């Protein structure tokens, strides 16, 4: 369970987000919506520990009761999926998946895990293909599975569907939700699209830029 | 790159770059005022200057330097603009574009030797038209190369510099939206060349200003090219200074140092004058740009330039082809346009020498370029850090101007005085000293080539890699460096060809103990043994072309080959 308490964000003394609190249960997706520039992505960066230092954020984050807001990124075990799938273009699909699988496993087990993932994706024949030979929807799915194969403790999704064309979006959404449920980890989705939020079948948190937020304190 | 102390590293590298520059500068300026402790001369005076200004040779040399050093950049710039205006985005122009990078890669000494083979009285051009047109049965008594006006040197400089400027311009075409401007202008009824004159060239010039300054500094100070194809007695100032520096009479050094300082001032003054005349031209042509005329007589200047430009490129290319022909020649009598007998024995006979020269050349080039690539990566990483952390949008990083200083300073003088430092460090004549001096001249080109692709890299890939599997150094190599492979290899190829072309750094740091293909080819260019000189110049040209070809060919295929081999192993 991921719990965020009293999150505040400001840029150059200007308050962007004031006092946000929420909790996400394992296997559930919380959708976060709001106008551009309000700091949705910055909240994700805060949660992953990569906030730009021009921004100031305060608040506490607990994962299963343990505080993680003081930990550096490498120790947080966070998965992040962005608009761009960011598959490494010089590695085959299989190598992209293997990259995320823990090196503590035996080589045979790693290969088996990666091949299971390929079958789940329905592209076992594309193991040696390069990312640019896949369609946009396939790339998005590979990117999600790659992130989940690194066994993150919680998942952050930064508008991962916005680059896909509408026909594909429904399929990919369903795939993402099913995988998150199977991995049984809390996930936070940032989106502009109300359909995204509905498809995730979870709570929806709407950030608003009310006048009280924008006045400096 | 997970660097721990980026600021500290920035300053360390800056210091490393500045020390040789400052030491070289100070030890050029002090002897010019008669201060040179190694010769027990510590009394400051203007005597070297008085002596310098009383030399008749100085004025004759200076005149030649100014003619070639100002003429060549002007002609190169005119031809480059003309070719671009005439051919941009036309299908056959792509073929010319493809010819550019081999000509760029080839050391200038090799091109000069090839031009010597082409243009000398017994050269290929006259052979081609003899005896059927000219009636010559033996070489005419003309002075067509090494002419006293420096025209052949001017031509050689143009052959080398025009492709460079054209290459730089082509790279900046996207940022001025040339295609769109041409479409809009042509819809308004303007002719293509007029559009270039009024719209595109004024936008292009500020973007290529720095490469032009590099070309100006190079033309004013070049030594090896002037030795091969330039006039002698009097020669250009840089060559005259070289002779004075090498004079067994050490007291000549003071006058030579004063001359070197003067040459430095010359570069500075010419660049300032160049900028002023640019301002003046801009002011004069300003009203003409918006006078609404769709065509103009000055368009013909561009048309003429395009024709001359093609001829210049062609002569450079033919000059290169003559190198392997001469190296395989057994018998080639004067009016014949091709050798009557061919042989491998020139190469065979010279094999031990060529092997030694080639080994030296490649070892020096390989180490200096690899070192330059590594240092460039560290420098760019610290630059990226400072760009990311300070919200900086300006590009005024310490390295960006420091890096140009070695290329803009005249090598003659500067290097001779750096040599004094090497003697103090007991490194004179050592291979490491040669590599260090080459490094100084390779680094700027590697850094500049690598800069924009490195800074444009999407850090998201590296961040995602570290989230998936936190091994910062391994990911830096396997993700970022691996993805930047094409840019790195291109930078390597450019650095490699710059190192192979170096003449004075090898000569001065090596003290003659290490010869390379370049130093030997330049030394023997005057000997008249065309077969041997041709072999050296051919090898000198061959390696950069090979490396450039690898750099173009390998990265695009690398991943496929790697995957194919791995699939085969499983």
pLDDT, averaged across chain A? 87
Q: Residue A15, Cβ neighbours under 10 Å: how many?
A: 18
Q: CA torsion B253→B220→B18→B395, rounded to 10°?
A: 170
pLDDT recorded at residue B434: 94
Topology of domain A2-210, per CATH? Rossmann fold (3.40.50)
ipTM attached to this prediction? 0.86
Q: Report the gap between the CA of B545 and the closest CA in chain A (Å).
A: 26
In chain A, which among 153-212 make CB contacts under 8 A with chain B?
none
* pTM recorded for the entire structure: 0.87
The Cα-based distances of A56 to A34, A45, A46, B461 in angstroms read 20, 12, 10, 25
pLDDT tens-digit map of B473-532: 999 999 999 999 999 999 999 999 999 999 999 998 988 889 999 999 998 887 778 888
Residue A54 to residue B461, Cβ atoms within 8 A: no
Q: What is the pLDDT of residue B569?
A: 55
What pLDDT was estimated at residue B568? 58
Using a CB-CB cut-off of 8 Å, the residues of chain B touching A88 are 461, 465, 479, 483
Look at A162 and B64; give whichever has higher pLDDT: B64
Contact A146 B485 (CB under 8 A): no
Chain B residue nearest residue A73, CA to CA: B467
Could you tell me the sign of the dihedral formed by the alpha carbons of B24, B26, B32, B38, in that order?
negative
> Residue B380 half-sphere exposure, CB side, CA atoms within 13 Å?
24
Nearest CA of chain A to the CA of B98: how many Å? 26
Q: For tokens 């100002």, what's the residue?
A: B70
Q: pLDDT tens digits, residue range B157-197?
A: 999 999 999 988 988 887 888 888 888 888 888 888 888 88
Q: Please judge whether B466 and A84 are an interchain contact, meaning their C-beta atoms are less than 8 angstroms apart.
A: no
Residues of B at the A interface (Cβ-Cβ below 8 Å)?
389, 391, 458, 460-461, 463-470, 479, 482-483, 485, 558-559, 563, 567
pLDDT of res. B271: 95
CA distances from B467 to A50, A157, B14, B131 (A): 11, 14, 33, 76
Residue ranges, chain B, pLDDT below 50: none
* Structure tokens, B225: 């090219």
- Minimal Cα distance from A77: which residue of B? B467
Q: Do B559 and A150 touch (CB under 8 A)?
A: no
Tens of pLDDT along A21-54? 899 999 999 999 888 878 888 888 889 888 877 8
Burial label for B82, CB within 10 Å (0-12, 13-18, 19+), is: buried
A2-29 average pLDDT score: 87
- Minimum distance, in Å, between the CA of residue A163 and any CA atom of chain B: 16
Q: Please report the domains of chain B, with CATH numbers, ordered by start residue.
A: 1-45+346-570 (1.10.3720.10), 58-343 (1.10.3720.10)
Query: Which candidate from A53, A78, A99 shows the least CB-CB separation from B469?
Result: A99
User: Cα A197 to chain center, whole Å?
Assistant: 14
pLDDT recorded at residue A214? 39
Residue A146's pLDDT band, with cuts at 50, 70 and 90, is very high
pLDDT at residue number B95: 80
> Residue B488: what pLDDT?
94
> To the nearest whole percent, how much of chain A has pLDDT over 70?
96
């Amino acid at each position: 369970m991921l719990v965020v308490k009293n999150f505040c964000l400001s840029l150059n003394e200007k308050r962007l987000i004031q006092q946000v609190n929420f909790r996400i249960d394992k296997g559930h997706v919380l959708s976060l919506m709001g106008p551009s520039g309000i700091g949705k992505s910055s909240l994700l960066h805060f949660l992953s520990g990569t906030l730009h230092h021009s921004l100031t954020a305060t608040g506490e984050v607990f994962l299963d009761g343990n505080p993680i807001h003081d930990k550096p990124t490498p120790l947080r075990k966070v998965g992040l999926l962005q608009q761009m799938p960011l598959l490494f273009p010089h590695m085959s699909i299989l190598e992209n998946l293997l990259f995320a699988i823990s090196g503590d496993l035996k080589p045979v087990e790693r290969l088996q895990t990666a091949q299971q993932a390929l079958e789940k994706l329905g592209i076992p024949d594309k193991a040696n293909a390069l990312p640019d030979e896949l369609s946009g929807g396939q790339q998005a799915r590979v990117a999600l599975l790659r992130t989940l194969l690194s066994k993150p403790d919680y998942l952050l999704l930064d508008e991962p569907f916005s680059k896909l064309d509408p026909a594909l979006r429904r399929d990919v959404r369903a795939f993402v939700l099913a995988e998150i449920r199977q991995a049984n980890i809390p996930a936070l989705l940032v989106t502009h699209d109300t359909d995204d939020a509905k498809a995730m079948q979870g709570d929806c948190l709407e950030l608003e830029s009310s006048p009280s937020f924008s006045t400096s304190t | 790159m997970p660097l721990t102390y980026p600021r500290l590293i920035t300053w360390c590298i800056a210091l490393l770059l500045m020390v040789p520059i400052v030491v070289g500068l100070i030890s050029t300026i002090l002897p010019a005022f008669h201060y040179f402790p190694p010769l027990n001369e510590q009394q400051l005076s203007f005597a070297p200057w008085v002596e310098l200004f009383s030399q008749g040779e100085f004025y004759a040399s200076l005149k030649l330097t100014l003619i070639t050093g100002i003429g060549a950049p002007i002609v190169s710039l005119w031809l480059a603009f003309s070719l671009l205006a005439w051919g941009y985005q036309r299908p056959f122009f792509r073929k010319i574009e493809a010819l550019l990078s081999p000509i760029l890669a080839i050391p200038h000494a090799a091109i000069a030797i090839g031009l010597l083979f082409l243009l000398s009285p017994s050269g290929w051009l006259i052979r081609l038209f003899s005896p059927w047109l000219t009636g010559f049965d033996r070489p005419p008594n003309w002075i067509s190369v090494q002419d006293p006006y420096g025209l052949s040197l001017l031509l050689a400089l143009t052959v080398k510099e025009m492709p460079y400027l054209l290459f730089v311009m082509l790279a900046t075409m996207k940022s001025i939206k040339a295609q769109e401007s041409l479409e809009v202008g042509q819809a308004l009824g303007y002719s293509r060349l007029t559009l270039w004159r009024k719209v595109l060239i004024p936008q292009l010039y500020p973007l290529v200003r720095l490469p032009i300054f590099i070309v100006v500094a190079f033309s004013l100070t070049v030594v090896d090219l002037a030795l091969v194809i330039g006039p002698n007695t009097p020669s250009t100032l840089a060559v005259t200074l070289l002779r004075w520096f090498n004079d067994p009479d050490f007291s000549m050094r003071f006058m030579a140092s004063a001359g070197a300082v003067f040459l430095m001032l010359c570069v500075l003054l010419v660049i300032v004058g160049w900028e002023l005349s640019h301002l003046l031209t801009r002011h004069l042509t300003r009203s003409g740009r918006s006078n609404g005329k769709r065509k103009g007589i000055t368009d013909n200047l561009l048309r003429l330039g395009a024709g001359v430009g093609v001829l210049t490129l062609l002569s450079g290319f033919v000059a290169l082809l003559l190198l392997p022909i001469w190296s395989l020649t057994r018998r080639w009598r004067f009016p014949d346009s091709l050798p009557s007998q061919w042989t491998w024995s020139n190469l065979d006979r010279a094999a031990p020498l060529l092997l030694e020269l080639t080994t030296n050349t490649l070892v020096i080039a390989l180490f200096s370029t690899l070192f330059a690539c590594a240092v460039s990566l560290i420098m760019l990483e610290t630059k990226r850090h400072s760009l990311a952390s300070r919200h900086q949008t300006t590009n005024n990083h310490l390295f960006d101007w420091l890096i140009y200083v070695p290329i803009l300073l005249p090598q003659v003088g500067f290097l001779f005085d750096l040599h004094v430092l090497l003697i103090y460090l007991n490194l004179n004549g050592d291979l490491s000293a040669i590599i260090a001096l080459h490094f100084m001249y390779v680094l700027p080109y590697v850094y500049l080539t690598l800069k924009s692709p490195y800074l444009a890299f999407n850090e998201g890939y590296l961040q995602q890699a570290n989230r998936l599997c936190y091994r910062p150094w391994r990911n830096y190599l396997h993700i970022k460096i691996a993805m930047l492979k094409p840019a790195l290899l291109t930078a390597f190829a450019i650095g490699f060809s710059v190192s192979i072309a170096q003449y004075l750094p090898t000569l001065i740091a090596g003290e003659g103990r290490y010869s390379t293909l370049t130093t030997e080819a330049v030394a023997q260019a005057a000997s008249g043994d065309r077969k041997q000189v041709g072999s050296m110049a051919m090898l000198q040209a061959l390696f950069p072309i090979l490396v450039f070809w690898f750099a173009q060919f390998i990265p695009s295929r690398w991943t496929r080959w790697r995957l194919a081999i791995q699939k085969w192993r499983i």
